Amino acid sequence: MNTPRMKVRHALILIGCLLVTTSASAIVADAQPKADGAAITAQPGSATTTPVVTLANEKTTVAVSSEAYTKPKAKKPSTADHSKFSELDKDFKTGPEVTKACLECHTEAAKQVHNTKHWTWEYLNPVTKQKLGKKSIINNFCTAVTSNQTFCSACHVGYGWSDDSFDFTSEANVDCIACHDTTGSYKKIPGLSGHPNYEKMEWPPHSGKFREAVDLKKIAQNIGKTSRQTCGACHFYGGGGNAVKHGDLDSSLTNPKRYLDVHMESDGLNFTCGDCHVSDSHEVSGSRYAPTATDDEGALIRGKRNGRNPTTCVACHGNTPHPGNTTITAKLNAHTDKLACQTCHIPEFARGALATKMSWDWSTAGKLDEKGQRIIEKASNGRVSYDSKKGHFTYDRYVIPEYVWFNGNVKYTLFGEKVEGDKVNINTFLGSADDPDSRIWPVKVFRGKQPYDVGNETLAVFHTAGKDDSAFWGNYDWDKALEWGMREAGMKYSGEKKFVETEMSWPITHMVAPKEDAMRCEQCHTENGRLQAIDGIYMPGRNNTPLVDKIGFTLALLALLGVLIHGGIRYLMSKRG
């Protein structure tokens, strides 16, 4: 697009065609200098003098531009050196012992954590009134937490959640370290109900490798702020492994280069997760259960929160984020009425070279080899394509998102809800072109096949992991796993299952590319472009008027033919004299 030769060509054509016009403009400028100047640069959104737009322009000055802010590298951000505290100079035996020490000074911390999703794994959607959260929902990865807590709670900010008897009021059971470790040596092990290994143990299982016992004293004395590592320890590994679940969150974000994430670039702005996901009393802002799809209110002035989500792009960049007032930047700013920033600025996900899981077919799980042993197959990209425990997978990287109208409301198909047919949308992003609160959003759509209880007409919960004779991982018996899982979830398994196709959407919002890698206009403004499937809006360049084009070009061609024939005859006749 921008080779020098093309630039020259553009310039020549422009000069040629506009030579005459420049003189025109000169005359225009002479006669009417102001009107002309305004005319040439004025654009939708900037030329109007209505208060709304003026306000929006003011907001631009508040909003940060990408160059404006370079975060100084913090040396010692804290005023307290925890290694000097006698309370922490102890040989802690367990996590809860450390927590008790923390709470001696941070008296309110555990109570605060008790109110957060990180602790409750519950979320009540205020709009749909649906009870969501990891505790309740079914997804199409490992499907459900219920009956599998000993494993899933490796990502719970608590100690000891192995079944329904867990005491959610216990302060000592809050895990401070999971988020505040700075040593990188803390690891909660699946199967230990949220605890790290206090003794040396083999990990991963049957690998022949061993993990040393966790050094809680060292960790406690080096406690500090959350970081990309601490958040990433869970959020990069969702769905059972690195990069598996989200597609826009994986360990490549621990030390990203600029092309991968313009905010987190470790040699650049070096944002932590918490720089956007600002916390208040341990409640971390920003949630995919009720994302903010649209924010028309401009950049947030520091300190002024008034209930708005500080984690959005708009919260810093405002609603007219493209600086300058050229034809193009004005046009780009005008696009914010229909597009989420993410749509142009995250052109692909899984850009950190790690592939993300794109589909998961549970229906083929449980096949064993002749010796009755677990089978694991790998695809050419090195990632597992079949595992007896889990079925078939596909992985992909540099993935082009799908696009949907989204107003921030997500409707889930919950456990126990009666659903029919062979296809179930685990969640549905609500929104439409006519809804002023909707924007076009990029999503990762994860497709799967998973068990469904035919008698109860609901997505099924099954017992995956555990040291018993029913866990699917180890026994490979669907009926037993379903029996146990459904019972734990409060329902009696009907005894008949089938596998239904499921779809689940994930908003794409991380891995923001630098501006030079943002989408180009023609990636959407073309036939069969990125937004071909988006309905309800007019987009020039998308082959909008095929009939008019056919008629128009036919008539133009006929006119051309007509004059050529006419001219030909004239020429021949004049030759004859």
Partner 1 sequence: MERMYIFKRFERFWHWSQAALIMFLMLTGFEVHGSYTFFGFQQAVAYHTIAAWTLVGLWVFAVFWHLTTGEWKQYIPTMDKVVAMFRYYLTGIFTNAPHPFKQTRLKKHNPLQRLAYLFVLLVINPLIWTTGWFYLFYNSWKDWGVDWLNIEYVALFHVIAAFMMLIFFIAHVYLATAGHTPTAHIKAMITGWEETD
**Positions in the binding site for ligand HEM (CB under 6 A):** 540, 544
Answer with the entry of partner 1, ligand HEM, none that 328 interacts with (C-beta below 5 to 8 A by kind).
partner 1
CA distance 98 to 80: 17
- DSSP state at residue 506: E
CA distance 288 to 418: 24
Answer with the entry of ligand HEM, partner 1, none that 23 interacts with (C-beta below 5 to 8 A by kind).
partner 1
Secondary element (H or E) of residue 500: strand 497-507
Tell me how far, at minimum, the Cβ of 573 lies from partner 1, in Å.
4
User: Measured from the CB atom, is 375 or 551 closer to partner 1?
Assistant: 551
Answer with the entry of ligand HEM, partner 1, none that 106 interacts with (C-beta below 5 to 8 A by kind).
none
Crossing angle for the helix pair 4-31 and 33-41, to the nearest 10 degrees: 150
Tell me how far, at minimum, the Cβ of 13 lies from partner 1, in Å.
8
Answer with the entry of partner 1, ligand HEM, none that 68 interacts with (C-beta below 5 to 8 A by kind).
none
Tell me how far, at minimum, the Cβ of 540 lies from ligand HEM, in Å.
4
Tell me how far, at minimum, the Cβ of 545 lies from partner 1, in Å.
6
Answer with the entry of ligand HEM, partner 1, none that 45 interacts with (C-beta below 5 to 8 A by kind).
partner 1
Tell me how far, at minimum, the Cβ of 29 lies from partner 1, in Å.
9
Tell me how far, at minimum, the Cβ of 544 lies from ligand HEM, in Å.
6
User: Measured from the CB atom, is 115 or 544 closer to ligand HEM?
Assistant: 544
CA distance 31 to 37: 11
Tell me how far, at minimum, the Cβ of 54 lies from ligand HEM, in Å.
22
Bridge partners, 196 (sequence order) = 188
Answer with the entry of ligand HEM, partner 1, none that 425 interacts with (C-beta below 5 to 8 A by kind).
none
- DSSP state at residue 87: G
Answer with the entry of ligand HEM, partner 1, none that 12 interacts with (C-beta below 5 to 8 A by kind).
none
User: Measured from the CB atom, is 445 or 521 closer to ligand HEM?
Assistant: 521
Q: Are 89 and 217 in contact (CB under 8 A)?
A: yes
- State which residue has the least CB distance to ligand HEM: 540
- DSSP state at residue 402: E
Tell me how far, at minimum, the Cβ of 323 lies from partner 1, in Å.
16
What residues make contact with partner 1 under the rule CB under 8 A? 1, 10, 13-14, 16-21, 23-25, 27-28, 31, 36, 39-40, 42-45, 47-48, 50, 52-53, 326-328, 331, 334, 337, 520-522, 525-527, 538, 540-545, 548-549, 551-553, 555-556, 559-560, 563, 566-567, 569-570, 573-574
User: Measured from the CB atom, is 24 or 400 closer to ligand HEM?
Assistant: 24
Tell me how far, at minimum, the Cβ of 412 lies from ligand HEM, in Å.
38
User: Measured from the CB atom, is 16 or 303 closer to partner 1?
Assistant: 16
Query: For residue 419, which of 446, 462, 450, 454 has the smallest C-alpha distance?
Result: 454
User: Measured from the CB atom, is 490 or 567 closer to partner 1?
Assistant: 567
- The per-residue DSSP string of 24-69 comes to HHHHHHHH-HHHHHHHHH--TTTS---HHHHHHHHHHHHS--TTT-
User: Measured from the CB atom, is 219 or 332 closer to ligand HEM?
Assistant: 332
Answer with the entry of ligand HEM, partner 1, none that 549 interacts with (C-beta below 5 to 8 A by kind).
partner 1
- The per-residue DSSP string of 442-478 comes to EEEEEEEEEEEETTTTEEPP---S-SSSS-HHHH--H
Answer with the entry of ligand HEM, partner 1, none that 20 interacts with (C-beta below 5 to 8 A by kind).
partner 1
If one counts every other C-beta atom within 10 angstroms of the C-beta of residue 118, the result is 21
Answer with the entry of partner 1, ligand HEM, none that 552 interacts with (C-beta below 5 to 8 A by kind).
partner 1
Count Cβ neighbours within 10 Å for each residue of 379-418 and write b for 16 or more, e otherwise. eeeebbebbbbbbbbebbbebebebbbbbbbbebbbbbee
Query: Residue 394 to residues 139, 173, 549: CA-CA distances in angstroms?
Result: 17, 38, 42
What number of residues does the chain have?
577
Query: For residue 265, which of 73, 68, 62, 76 has the smallest C-alpha distance?
Result: 73
CA distance 307 to 295: 12
Dihedral in degrees, nearest 10, Cα atoms 404, 238, 141, 378: 110
CA distance 374 to 389: 7
The amino acid present at 257, given as its one-letter code, is K
Phi, psi at 420, each rounded to 5°? -115, 170
User: Measured from the CB atom, is 103 or 334 closer to ligand HEM?
Assistant: 334
Answer with the entry of ligand HEM, partner 1, none that 47 interacts with (C-beta below 5 to 8 A by kind).
partner 1
Share in percent of the chain as helix, strand, coil (round to 5): 30, 15, 55
Can you say whether residue 533 is alpha, beta or left, with left for phi > 0 and alpha for psi between -120 and 50 degrees? alpha
User: Measured from the CB atom, is 455 or 552 closer to ligand HEM?
Assistant: 552
User: Measured from the CB atom, is 23 or 66 closer to partner 1?
Assistant: 23
User: Measured from the CB atom, is 78 or 544 closer to ligand HEM?
Assistant: 544
Tell me how far, at minimum, the Cβ of 343 lies from partner 1, in Å.
16
Answer with the entry of partner 1, ligand HEM, none that 7 interacts with (C-beta below 5 to 8 A by kind).
none
Query: For residue 533, which of 442, 446, 448, 447 has the smallest C-alpha distance?
Result: 442
Which tokens in the block code for residue 63? 């909003």
CA distance 349 to 113: 31
Tell me how far, at minimum, the Cβ of 552 lies from partner 1, in Å.
3
Tell me how far, at minimum, the Cβ of 38 lies from ligand HEM, in Å.
14
User: Measured from the CB atom, is 44 or 204 closer to ligand HEM?
Assistant: 44
Alpha helix segments (H runs only) across 42-170: 51-62, 95-105, 109-114, 117-120, 149-152
Tell me how far, at minimum, the Cβ of 339 lies from ligand HEM, in Å.
14
Answer with the entry of ligand HEM, partner 1, none that 337 interacts with (C-beta below 5 to 8 A by kind).
partner 1
User: Measured from the CB atom, is 24 or 400 closer to partner 1?
Assistant: 24
